[in-house]
Structure 1
Amino acid sequence: MHKSVTDSIVCEEMMIPSDTAGIALFVRRKRRSDLVRFSADRTVLFVAGSTYPASTTFDLRLDGLSWMDHLAHQGNDVYLVDVRGYGRSSRPPEMEAPPSDHQPIVRTPVAVRDVASAAAFIRSRRDLDKINLIGWSWGTTLMSRYASENAAHVGKLVLIAPQWLRTTPSAADVGGPLGAYRIVERSTTKSRWLNGVPDGKKDAILPPAWFNAWAEATFANTGLGTDKLRAPNGTVQDSRDYWASGKPLYDPSLLTMPVLIVHADLDRDCPMEMAQTVFSKLSAAPYRRWVEVGEGTHSVFMERNRWQVFGAVDGFLDEEAPA
């Protein structure tokens, strides 16, 4: 375990066991140095999407502050986990072979088990019955499925750009046969990120220096140099077999905790109608909320208008529902 203190924020990094021999999960935790009382309503776990790790998205310092830092400064005990095959977690052995040697790996049930391992670790070390969950993109499917199966252990659920049934192509799926994993090239990432954004607004929405900071962090230590990374294809196969085939991967009506959906108007990966459909199906949530952010993409929480996401999530996590 590695621990450091910066700007009154304590950072711990650790590898925890998964439920699979030989696979360890990278977990980072941040909290204020004066935080000594830990509670369910002030404990948060992040999980990311189908291509990039949590560790270089939610804890990316832009203008000196990451979303993880922000939540820690607000008095939260904040964790993130990289699902196996992503970021600093163990790579399944199939990722060391040519991709065509194996079927797509790290499918949704496997990734949900990694979320469960991280959530159980957090609850156990702080003796908590519940924690709050924040998922982005594919991570919304992981968090929702975990929450639907473990409702007693989830306080509140935040879904950033939720997946749902789709009739449009997935941006992560270029078609053709799928191997165990895919190679993502740094040179293609900015155009995909800003897909659909008018040319005159691109630098305003995503400052070039912010993109470069993200790319430097995300493509470091991948084992493929500084311009490529490997991403498991399980999520792409699941998108074909489920979302694109009219079959949901979870049932929103089983989510019995408060739910916040945050979506941005220029998101081409998860169009607005997806998020609207999920919102409409949250029939068991004690209360539910939708926040639409203007001038933002699928990665709005790493863009100029990220403060709107931060504010919406702060308010949702802080509030106490009237009895």
Structure 2
Amino acid sequence: MAEDVTRRDFHVKSVDGYAIALREVRPNDRTREAGKPPLIMLHGTRIPGLSEFDLDVPNGSFAATMAELGFPCYILDARGFGRSQRPAEMDKPPVPGKRSLVRTIEITRDIDAAVDWIRAEFGIEAVSMMGWGVGGTCCIMYAALWPEKTSHIVLYDTIYGGGGTYNMGRGSKWEDPDRPGRFNKPVFGNYQVNTLDLLEAHWDKQIPIEDKNAWRDPEMLKAFSQALLDGDPASSSYDPPAYRSPNGMLEDLFYMVLRHKLVHACQVYCRVMIINPELDTLCQDSDMEELIADLVNAEEVVHYRPPNTTHYVMLDRPERGRTAMTEAMVAFLT
């Protein structure tokens, strides 16, 4: 990569013994960091951190973009994802009917391990964090559990549980047909194996024009797909190659679609930024409006709703919203 940053990979230990992977991305000129808070970046439901925040293509590393602007970034893989330690069950075939591995509440332990390391490293009391999708829900939950350790949270494409129209709720394959309103554990079980076509299909569906390459660099899709495989040492054992992910965040997403709030936002006291792309089908207006209504104790709430942008605005071409989103985030964090 040609960016003016330095990368370092290491692990921290969670309170319950998991080795949690972090990638540090910092500016080569550390004087740029003056007055800029360190920023943890947390991935979404099925996808590890590097594939979302640090791709080796132009404009593919949001971590490098933020680091060049002075923000030390720490990309986190929750247990069961990417370079972090996986539950032992994930070394065996998926088991239908078993409990979903790695629920959102467990991931707060992984965040806390990273937060405590960063607090000690920088000599600060509180840390900023950014979460994608259900990763944003994790950030809300963490901020409620440890308000004294949290200064800012950026909720990117997040779901809260306040309502909306989704395709994974009642009557979907995610609902147990024999127990309406329950996650379909008999089918999906403890973890699943994902093929790469899921990413392209979902991204293409978000883009509102016929020529997808005019909106998204085709090299970005290739790099994202390769990073998904690179993040799982077992990916080449599948035909075609595929990657594993725990089902805990998916189960939590299902229940939030049914309007179950995993955490109430009145317990959040830090500064909050919501990034709510207009074309995103996960992060919906009605849900974010209820989240804002519940954020009664937050020090500040910024609702950034960029028009004509997708779930992948951070990785779309710069003129499709990435540049404007970066500017809005920098203004919020500083």
TM-score by length of structure 1 reads 0.89
- Which residue of 2 is the match for residue 321 of structure 1? none
Amino acid at match of 1:43: P
Say whether 1:317 aligns with 2:315. Answer: no
**1:191 aligns to what?**
201
Q: Per-residue deviation at 1:6?
A: 6.4
Q: 1:266 aligns with which of 258, 279, 294?
A: 279
Deviation by residue 1:297-320 (Cα, 9 ceiling, x = unmatched): 2222111221122111011112xx
Stretches (4+) displaced over 6 A: 37-40
* Aligned match for 1:296, one of 297, 302, 309: 309
| C-alpha distance in structure 2 between counterparts of 1:278 and 1:206, whole Å | 30
Q: Could you give the per-residue CA deviations for residues 82-121 of structure 1, whole angstroms, max 9, x where no partner exists?
A: 0011111111101111211632100111111111111111
2:16 aligned partner = 20
Q: CA–CA distance in 2 between the matches of 1:95 and 1:220?
A: 17
Q: Does structure 2 conserve the Cα–Cα contact (< 8 Å) formed by 1:183 and 1:229?
A: yes
Moved more, 192-201 or 243-252: 192-201
SS for the counterpart of 1:104 is coil
TM-fit CA distance, 1:245: 3.8
Identity %: 24
The amino acid of 1:224's aligned partner reads: S
CA contact (8 A) 1:39 1:128 kept: no
Residue 256 of structure 1 and its aligned partner are, at CA, apart by 1.2
- Mapped to 1, the partners of 2:79 and 2:34 lie a distance apart of 28
One of 251, 262, 269 as aligned partner of 1:237: 251
Query: Is residue 161–residue 275 contact of structure 1 (8 Å, CA) maintained in 2?
Result: no
Query: What is the one-letter code of the residue matched to 1:203?
Result: N
CA contact (8 A) 1:41 1:132 kept: no
Instruction: Write the distance in 2 (CA, Å) between the matches of 1:239 and 1:67.
Output: 25
Whole-angstrom distance in 2 between the partners of 1:272 and 1:231: 28
Equivalence for 2:44: 49
CA contact (8 A) 2:34 2:70 kept: no
2:106 matched to 1:96? no
Output the CA distance in 2 between the equivalents of 1:6 and 1:188: 30
The number of equivalent residue pairs is 311
Instruction: Give SS of 1:75's match.
Output: coil
Q: Give the Cα–Cα distance (whole angstroms) in 1 for the partners of residues 312 and 3 of structure 2.
A: 26
Aligned equivalent of 2:156, options 137, 153, 160: 160
5+ unaligned residues in a row in structure 1: which ranges? Answer: 319-323
Distance change >3 Å, CA 8–CA 168, structure 1 → 2: closer
Q: Distance in 1 between matches of 2:308 and 2:259?
A: 30
Q: Which residue in the other structure is 2:297 paired with?
A: 284
1:224 corresponds to: 235
Partner of 1:114: 110
Where structure 2 has 5 or more consecutive residues not aligned to the other structure, the ranges are 175-183
Question: What TM-score comes out, normalization by structure 2 length?
Answer: 0.86
Q: Distance in 1 between matches of 2:32 and 2:70?
A: 10
Q: Offset at 1:273?
A: 2.1
* Structure 2 residue matching 1:188: 3-state secondary structure: helix
Q: CA deviation at 1:178?
A: 2.2
Please give the residue correspondences for 1:55-74 in structure 2 after superposition, counting only pairs within 5 Å: 55-63=50-58, 66-74=61-69
Instruction: Write the letter of the residue equivalent to 2:199.
Output: T
On the 8 A contact 2:134/2:253 being kept in 1, the answer is: no
Determine the structure 1 residue equivalent to 2:217.
207
Counterparts in 2 of 1:271 and 1:246: CA distance versus 1, 3 Å: closer
Secondary structure (helix, strand or coil) at the match of 1:200 reads coil
Instruction: Please list the CA deviations of residues 19-42 of structure 1 after superposition, one character each: whole Å capped at 9, or x if unmatched.
Output: 233x21110111122216967742
1:10 aligns with 2:12: no
Instruction: Determine if contact 2:60/2:315 at 8 Å carries over to the other structure.
Output: no
CA distance in 1: counterparts of 2:62 and 2:100, whole angstroms = 31
Which of these residues, 170, 173, 179, is aligned with residue 168 of structure 2? 170
Alignment RMSD (CA, Å) = 2.2
